Amino acid sequence: MKNKIIERKALKVQQRGNSFIYLLSLSGDELLSLAGISRVSRNDGGRLIGYQREGVKKHVKEISEYLQDPAMILAHPLILSFSSNVKFVSSRGQKTSDGLAVAGLLRIPVPSREKDKPAWIVDGQQRALAIEMCEDKRFAVPVCAFIADNVELQRDQFMRINNSKPLPRGLVTELLPEVDSPLPPKLAIRKVPSALCDLLNSEKDSPFRGLIRRPSTPKDEAEKAVVTDTVIVKMIEDSLTNPSGCLFPYRNIATGEYDQTAIWAILHTYWTAVKETFPDAWGKPPHHSRLMHGIGLRSMGKLMDRIMGSVDLREKGAPKFVKKELEMIADLCRWTDGEWDSLGGLAWNELQNVHKHHSMVSNFLIRSYMERRGQS
């Protein structure tokens, strides 16, 4: 018995080389039966799979209400990635091409099982969810599609399409390490920090293991994940891009390459020492410990630049030395209770992740460290 096929008139547009896109329309119910949404998550091995965030309920409801209006116009096409099981057949005749596009039929197999859907929604998941809420789904939905069996290409297109849209920073950040093609400069600089954030969250001996919350974090693990990934990425990025950062020497500005092994060794050594120096403040939610808050992590990151810049990690006693350096300022910190006497008596929980407080705490920690180091 032959599998059912949906045939839709389409235009095949060649862009560069063997790069093709297909322009067509599907009814709303056809779209939902053929295309799935690749949710961002991680498999049992910790590898990132998917790329889409959860739907925004209020936004979806608003779109659905509009789509059920008789005067609605859905002009913006959804972008789909078809599997290679979808075939294009050119129309016969002399006038099927105008030099830019070729007219024909796109033959799309109808799946018998949910997991066999031949398409993924790369852009337009909110609209697709809204269509699903409509009572009448038989209206035409404009579609722009390309063919790709691998999720890497789908993820790459998702990133580029949404680069100028207000996607959650955390979602974009987590996807970056999985994109192999050249990225815009503002995204490229965050790729290595995001990969290091993954290592800090997943390596067995990492002080941050399981503590970093990313868009793919399962709901049953979210309570333990008390640190926001964007704070960790920003802390690493600051050190890599600032000439005074301890990670800056391990970045080749000319080639864009990084010594990731050396950077990992610095991060692992320093933050393990922080964990051991402040055991009562480590791993607690930010409302119980400002060390795990953006203000604490970024301020301690600035202190990392000062301490780790002169540490030779090849020496056997380097980890103990780093902990000893941190102990010089440990008694001055008020991460979980008390007041910061040298910061105008600010209570520990009055510190916020704002520029003013960040500068105050960072400068105080570095100044105190340098003064005490000079006395020891």
| Tokens standing for residue 303 | 């202190």
Residue with tokens 């322009």: 23
> For position 271, what pLDDT does the model report?
97
> For position 260, what pLDDT does the model report?
86
> For position 293, what pLDDT does the model report?
95
340 and 233 in a common domain: yes
d(CA 141, CA 126): 13
208 and 82 in a common domain: no
CB 342 within 8 A of CB 364: yes
> Residue 193: which of 163, 160, 234, 227 has the closest Cα?
234
Residue with tokens 């008596």: 345
CB 115 within 8 A of CB 180: no
135 and 219 in a common domain: no
d(CA 16, CA 35): 26
186 and 135 in a common domain: no
150 and 174 in a common domain: no
276 and 139 in a common domain: no
> For position 3, what pLDDT does the model report?
67
- Of 159, 176, 208, the last residue of a domain is 159
342 and 296 in a common domain: yes
333 and 219 in a common domain: yes
177 and 102 in a common domain: no
> For position 154, what pLDDT does the model report?
62
Sign of CA dihedral 112, 113, 114, 120: negative
> For position 359, what pLDDT does the model report?
94
d(CA 151, CA 166): 22
d(CA 69, CA 65): 7
d(CA 305, CA 244): 7
145: containing domain: 5-159
> For position 282, what pLDDT does the model report?
97
Q: How many domains does the chain have?
A: 2
d(CA 112, CA 109): 9
335 and 200 in a common domain: yes
- Of 159, 183, 199, the last residue of a domain is 159
> For position 159, what pLDDT does the model report?
60
d(CA 104, CA 367): 71
d(CA 87, CA 315): 61
Paired residues of 79 in beta bridges: 123, 144
194 and 54 in a common domain: no
pLDDT of the chain, 376 residues: tens digit per residue: 456 899 999 999 988 878 899 999 999 999 988 887 755 445 455 554 444 445 456 767 878 888 888 888 888 899 888 888 899 999 987 778 888 899 999 999 888 877 778 888 888 888 888 888 888 888 999 999 988 876 666 666 666 665 545 445 555 555 555 555 555 555 566 678 888 888 899 899 999 999 998 877 788 787 888 999 989 999 999 999 999 999 999 988 777 788 888 999 999 999 999 999 999 999 999 999 999 999 999 999 999 999 998 888 888 899 999 999 999 999 999 999 999 988 989 999 999 989 999 999 999 999 999 999 885 4
- Of 159, 185, 215, the last residue of a domain is 159
232 and 155 in a common domain: no
In order of 36, 80, 85, 110, 134, the CA distances from 3 in angstroms are 19, 21, 12, 7, 28
Rounded to 10 deg, the angle between the 260-277 and 294-308 helix axes is 120
Q: How many CB atoms lie within 10 A of CB 149?
A: 11
> For position 253, what pLDDT does the model report?
77
In order of 243, 293, 296, 300, 338, the CA distances from 350 in angstroms are 31, 12, 12, 17, 11
> For position 25, what pLDDT does the model report?
95
